Amino acid sequence: MSKTSRMPGFYKLSLEERLKLISEFAGLSEEEASLLKKEGNLSLDTADRMIENVIGTMAYPFAVAVNFLINGKDYVVPMTLEEPSVVAAASNAAKVMRENGGIYAKTTGPVMIGQVQVVGVKDPWYKKMVLIEHKDEILELANKQDPVLVKLGGGAKDLEVRILDTRIGPMLVAHLIVDVKDAMGANAVNTMCEKVSGLIETLTGGKVYLRIISNLADKRLVRAWVRIRKETIGGEEVVDGIVAAYEFAKADPYRAATHNKGIMNGVIAVALATAQDHRAI
């Protein structure tokens, strides 16, 4: 009988039983299977309680990039990744950037967006104004869901309403603008969206489907800038080469995707090292 990935009740098995079954399916040697059972700073028991169908753990190098001076304060930056030279490049760049005061950065604040999708709305432009008229009521209801966040100075701060033209007709989309403070914000925002969806249905006469956080966090931005003397990086010719590479990427998505991947080498490495939601990034 041929192998099959159809494994009823797989999630009910112990980790050892799952690993044995997968080893047989994939033809793993005892040595290969044993590598999956090696524990680092995450135990097999903890891993098995975090997600489904666990058969082992996987370790990555945990490093620090040095030389960072940001807004006048020195930092070492944790990075977790497998690619050589990324940490070294970040450390070298940070050293170069120290010359004129290091990196300067500012943030717009920890503001996330929760979306409530409403379909089947008659006269959506009018109903948009109805929601705006009831903004205070909607925000009050949202904030009742997380009094601790509100006490800390966060919570739902504003309401935006958009009309989208789609192939199945116009959709009304309400945006809850939520200050989530130090959190990523998904739990707080999703709970608020769930709670206000009934009120929004009543006010619009439509039907709510999705009510969930948006990962396009364009109200939660960090901007950073540096000033580097051309002599520090090799002179006018090197600067011209950097500008030419930038213009290439600006004009060509094939180059831009690769440039952006290089940027994400560092960003995701820091996100992994600090246990952030790198998938959202």
Query: Is residue 57 pLDDT above 90, yes or no?
Result: yes
| CA separation, residue 53 to residues 17, 44, 122, 172, 272 (Å) | 11, 12, 46, 39, 22
The residue type of 225 is W
pLDDT tens-digit readout, 142-160: 999 999 999 999 999 999 9
| Averaged pLDDT, 51-61 | 94
d(CA 8, CA 43): 26
pLDDT tens-digit readout, 93-120: 999 999 999 999 999 999 999 999 999 9
The residue type of 149 is L
- Is 224 within 8 Å of 71 (Cβ atoms)? no
Q: In a 3-state reduction of DSSP, which class is residue 212?
A: strand
Question: 46's torsion region: left (phi>0), alpha (psi -120 to 50) or beta?
Answer: alpha
d(CA 139, CA 159): 7
How large is the angle between the packed helices 124-133 and 186-204, nearest 10 degrees?
A: 120
| CA separation, residue 262 to residues 14, 86, 243, 266, 271 (Å) | 40, 9, 16, 7, 15
The pLDDT value given to residue 156: 98
Query: Is residue 1 pLDDT above 70, yes or no?
Result: no
Beta strands in the chain (DSSP E): 62-70, 73-80, 104-107, 111-119, 155-166, 169-179, 207-214, 222-225
Query: pLDDT band at residue 245, thresholds of 50, 70 and 90?
Result: very high
The pLDDT value given to residue 61: 94
The pLDDT value given to residue 276: 87
- The pLDDT mean for the chain works out to 95
| Averaged pLDDT, 36-58 | 93
The pLDDT value given to residue 280: 81
The pLDDT value given to residue 269: 97
Query: pLDDT band at residue 174, thresholds of 50, 70 and 90?
Result: very high
Tell me the percentage of the chain whose pLDDT exceeds 70. Answer: 100
pTM of the model: 0.84
Q: Tokens 């192998």 identify what position?
A: 3
pLDDT tens-digit readout, 249-280: 999 999 999 999 999 999 999 999 998 888 88
Residue 228 per-residue DSSP state: -
| Averaged pLDDT, 214-218 | 94
Helix (H) or strand (E) holding 125, with range, is: helix 124-133
The pLDDT value given to residue 39: 85
Tokens matching residue 231: 């002599």
- Is 120 within 8 Å of 183 (Cβ atoms)? no
- Is 199 within 8 Å of 137 (Cβ atoms)? yes
Tokens matching residue 20: 């044995």
Task: Kindly provide the b/e burial profile for residues 186-208, where b requires at least 16 CB atoms within 10 angstroms of the residue's own CB.
Answer: bebbeebbbbbbebbbebbebeb
